[in-house]
Amino acid sequence: MGFFDGNMGNILEIISGSDELLDVIRPLREGLFRHHAKLTEHFASDFSLEKIDETENGLLACSRRGGLHIAVAQTKDGAHHVGFCITRILADKTGDIFSMFVDEAYRGLGIGQKLMMDALRYLNQKGVDTINTHVLYGNEKVLSFYQKFGLYPRTIVLRRYNADKLDGSATCR
């Protein structure tokens, strides 16, 4: 599927596949991790580049079950990859927009919208009714983007590491 990028004068397209595209999007995933590390005050270590391999193992498991879809926005000649969206179908048949990123130079051109539409088409074709995504605290500006597609905040999850070092009253185990 091709589309015109008015600012850059290039023709871009969306290609899609599964785990075979993980190496293609690796530089973009690194950009997403750096972006998230800058946004989070308390959990920057969760976005060290070494963590990409850990998340990739989980994505490969989804792929083995047939529940992984990766869409990549690239120049028509394939020379430049400018964005991606990783979509999963979890074991409970819930759809998950696992991660999405568009290179800063290409933002505001509708690429994210095209990637999201591709993800929603995939999930619809697979018969998925419930779709979730997680938004990193500090990245709330993307909420309005996801709301355009019917995704709204449902819960807020708070996290603490080193839970075994609690100093306070009773704990439940």
Question: Is the distance from CB of 115 to CB of 102 less than 8 angstroms?
Answer: yes
Question: Is the distance from CB of 119 to CB of 97 less than 8 angstroms?
Answer: yes
Q: Taken in order 19, 111, 137, 36, is the CA torsion positive or negative?
A: positive
Mind giving me the DSSP string for 10-60? EEEEEEEESGGGHHHHHHHHHHHHHHHHHH-SS-GGGG-TTHHHHHHHHHH
- Asked whether residue 59 carries a pLDDT value surpassing 70, the answer given is yes
Per the listing, tokens 């020379």 go with 79
Measure the CA angle with vertex 120, ends 138 and 33; round to 5°.
30
Query: Residue 124 — very low, low, confident or very high, per pLDDT cuts 50/70/90?
Result: very high
CA dist., res. 139 & res. 41, Å (int) = 11
CATH topology of domain 2-162: Aminopeptidase (3.40.630)
Query: What are the tens digits of pLDDT across the range 43-58?
Result: 888 888 888 888 898 9
